[in-house]
Structure 1
Amino acid sequence: MAEAVARLLRDGVVVGEQAPAVMLCDSLQTRAAPALFTHFFASLTSNIAAGRAQAKGLVVVALRSTPESYTSSLDTEKKSRSSPGHCLQLVDCYTDPLGWNERIQGAEKLGEEGQRHTELEASSAYSTLCHDISDLNSLLSIVLRSGQAAVNQQSKAHFAVLIDSISFLLHYQSVAAITNFLSALRSHEQVSALMWVVHGDLHEARVVASLEYVATTVIHIKPQIHLPGQMLETQHKRETRHYGRIYVRQKKRNGRVREQVEEFQIENSGVKFAPVTLMTEMHQAVSLISSIPKVQFNLELSDKEREDRSKVVLPFEHQGDGKEVRIYDGRPDSVQSTFGSLNVVNGGSRHPEVVGSVAHKPSGVGEIHYLRDSDDERPDSDEDPDDDLDI
């Protein structure tokens, strides 16, 4: 899915629509957004240099890192060409973001340190200093001017804009001002793509949701869940490698939202992406669950407990105090056969004058006769006899 995001930045804007916007959101648990930002920056720079991208120039707003860190990330081959250096423009908001150096040194009288900054600014043809990030209108003008310089003042050429930390701007600006600033960049006719980084745990949920609303693609960076068996295996690799997952949520033009998950590894050579292996995770999860007891007590019985259980007299076992224990197993009983031979009638109406009484025969066997209260009542009626009661 990371390759799809790189292609999105490469292909740029569609005619009649605003530029695609990619948002990278991480937290203190991962801190991997700068590495992924550098990965997409290098990919887009390579595509621009090779002429495969819609954008002919690239503007990087450096708020979190120094401008030199982006120029040094380019390899020797790209530095030797004239096109990457010309198409890459840096807006330096890192050196003097609030204009303190400029105020101390003064506009007319420059000290020795001020002369050094002036020489540095003059020698850097691809970097523009921004002395006041609290003025977003001024910052927007600087970004657009740098974009014009990146495309050699061509009015029809496109350029991409990458911002390495929106969280830094949120310390000095409101959410509404930041969203208006991003929307102005997206709606500009020469901006082909836009990407920014935000640290989600530094802001409220509503702030992150507002920034997600402006973006067309949101990449949430979350830490990798290590199982107990994997912690010892990867403990010696933590210094040179970092694991994690990206949850890419992309808004389609038809209104649908598509979300995909992908794993990444940050190594010394760069960032590597790999699909999530669901079957491996299922087996690992099953093994982890099986090793954890589901209850807090032991269900196994000891030998003494089994012996005590065997001595318990169940309620359906009729003990005869030394006599034979008889348990009904469903077969005809000898007592029932004896009553059957004596022609015992249950529920009959042979003597209707005797109701609810037992008539003794000379043989010593009684009979129970039942007389219905009404002739309309059926013998096997399922109606509730107390249905007419007002309870």
Structure 2
Amino acid sequence: MLSELLQGTESGGFLIIQDSCSYSGRHLLKSFISAALNREEVVHVLGFEISEEELKDGLKTPYAQRLHFHNAYSDPLGWSEQPAFTVHQFSLADLAHLVKQTSKPPTLVIDSLSWILRHVSPPAVCKTLLQLKKGGAVRGIIGLLHADMHQRGTVGSVCHLATSVISVASGMKGDEAVAKITKRSKSGKVMHDEEIFSIKEDLTVSVQGKPSHLGHKQPEPEEQQTDPTANLTFNLRLSDTEREAREKLALPFVFSKEKKTALLHSGLGSGRILYEPDANDDYDQEDPDDDLDV
């Protein structure tokens, strides 16, 4: 599915690359930029976190004329007199004016959405993204989002607008990474996939396969379950001989078949209790309660 997303055949899509401090998704972002330039698309980049030189490092020079970098890295908050682009210009009107210089709708790349969300309210950012997605000013949107910088609700709100979300993490080997992909089709169907990939020097992506094909990761020693009865001073387990003796033991509240028969069918010579009144009992059959003071 990652190779399919790199082809970029769907127009009007919104792709989010979600990373964390343990693994950066910027290399994959540059791979998507390179793939869009190879398809002869016009790409506009809102650069908040890296300079133009660092972004273009590794991209092919002949395609640089179709790559437009809007410098929000030098003065993102507009403290100088003539800033190139500021975070406060992240609105539909300003962005539409910014990209209208091209003959056809370009692909808009935001590096990164996290920088904008730190200075603009999440509802305003989501509103602008939704307007860009449906307005037709851009062909598609690709945004980098640092998930560990925001609350879970903020990340969920932004990702809910996306047609595809790629969550990247480090893999088993040094040059490999794992991509967890969620894709929503126009019909509403949601597809999930997980792939191992690596990025070459020319920014092409090589998909290695799925994690399940490479075997399961062995648990760490501290993750293995320990026996809580290993260091006890007494034994909680029974041997075969002790278990057999326990099964033969007759419990006091359990009646055997012979005992039930003896209790239910009493024969001759069984014990009886006979009461013979004594002369001092003063027992009156006509008034048994005569001795009571009532």
Q: TM-score, normalised by structure 1?
A: 0.56
Instruction: State the match for 1:245 in structure 2.
Output: 178
1:28 alignment partner AA: C
Alpha-carbon distance change, 309 to 142 in structure 1, aligned in 2, over 3 angstroms: closer
Instruction: State the match for 2:87 in structure 1.
Output: 133
1:183 alignment partner AA: L
Instruction: State the match for 2:291 in structure 1.
Output: none
- CA shift digits 1:104-147 (9 cap, x unpaired): xxxxxxxxxxxxxxxxxxxxxxxx921x322433xx44533342
Higher mean Cα deviation, 174-183 or 309-318?
309-318
Does 2:57 correspond to 1:72? yes
1:159: Cα distance to partner? 1.3
- Residue pair 2:16, 2:145 contacting (<8 A) in 1 also: yes
Does 2:9 correspond to 1:22? no
Does 2:82 correspond to 1:100? no
Extract unaligned runs of 5+ from structure 1. 14-18, 49-54, 79-83, 104-127, 152-156, 227-233, 300-307, 319-345, 348-354, 361-365, 367-391
2:65 alignment partner AA: H
Instruction: State the match for 1:295 in structure 2.
Output: 227
2:170 alignment partner AA: P
d(CA) in 2 for partners of 1:257, 1:310 = 56
Does 2:164 correspond to 1:217? yes
d(CA) in 2 for partners of 1:309, 1:146 = 82
- CA shift digits 1:68-124 (9 cap, x unpaired): 223333224x2xxxxx33322111111111222327xxxxxxxxxxxxxxxxxxxxx
Identity %: 18
RMSD of Structure 2 on Structure 1 (CA) = 3.4
1:23: Cα distance to partner? 0.8
d(CA) in 1 for partners of 2:69, 2:202 = 24
d(CA) in 1 for partners of 2:122, 2:102 = 29
Instruction: State the match for 1:183 in structure 2.
Output: 130
Alpha-carbon distance change, 297 to 161 in structure 1, aligned in 2, over 3 angstroms: same
1:158 alignment partner AA: P
- Picking from 93, 96, 100, the partner of 1:148 is 100
Whose radius of gyration is greater, 1 or 2?
Answer: 1
Alpha-carbon distance change, 358 to 259 in structure 1, aligned in 2, over 3 angstroms: same
Does 2:39 correspond to 1:85? no
d(CA) in 1 for partners of 2:246, 2:136 = 88
- Residue pair 1:160, 1:193 contacting (<8 A) in 2 also: yes
d(CA) in 1 for partners of 2:240, 2:10 = 79
How many residues were matched structurally? 250
Alpha-carbon distance change, 146 to 311 in structure 1, aligned in 2, over 3 angstroms: closer
- CA shift digits 1:198-239 (9 cap, x unpaired): 111111111111101211111112333x5xxxxxxx5xxx4x
d(CA) in 2 for partners of 1:187, 1:91 = 22
Does 2:21 correspond to 1:36? no
Does 2:189 correspond to 1:256? yes
Extract unaligned runs of 5+ from structure 2. 232-237, 250-260, 271-294
1:258 alignment partner AA: M
- Residue pair 1:58, 1:150 contacting (<8 A) in 2 also: no
Alpha-carbon distance change, 73 to 316 in structure 1, aligned in 2, over 3 angstroms: closer
- Residue pair 1:166, 1:197 contacting (<8 A) in 2 also: yes
2:131 alignment partner AA: A
Find the residue that maps to 2:192 and give its secondary structure. strand
Higher relative contact order (CA 8 A, sep 6+): 2
d(CA) in 2 for partners of 1:357, 1:194 = 95
- Residue pair 1:221, 1:246 contacting (<8 A) in 2 also: yes
1:262-273 matches, cutoff 5 A? 262-266=195-199, 268=201, 270=203, 271-273=205-207
Which structure has greater helix proportion?
1
Instruction: State the match for 1:16 in structure 2.
Output: none
1:358 alignment partner AA: G
- Residue pair 1:22, 1:196 contacting (<8 A) in 2 also: yes
1:59 alignment partner AA: H
1:273 alignment partner AA: V
1:12: Cα distance to partner? 4.0
- CA shift digits 1:29-67 (9 cap, x unpaired): 222x1111011111111111xxxxxx4x21111111112
- Residue pair 2:114, 2:145 contacting (<8 A) in 1 also: yes
1:2 alignment partner AA: L
Find the residue that maps to 1:102 and give its secondary structure. coil
1:288-327 matches, cutoff 5 A? 292=224, 295-297=227-229, 314=245
d(CA) in 2 for partners of 1:190, 1:212 = 21
Instruction: State the match for 2:212 in structure 1.
Output: 278
Find the residue that maps to 2:128 and give its secondary structure. helix
2:55 alignment partner AA: Y
Q: TM-score, normalised by structure 2?
A: 0.72
- CA shift digits 1:332-359 (9 cap, x unpaired): xxxxxxxxxxxxxx89xxxxxxx94424
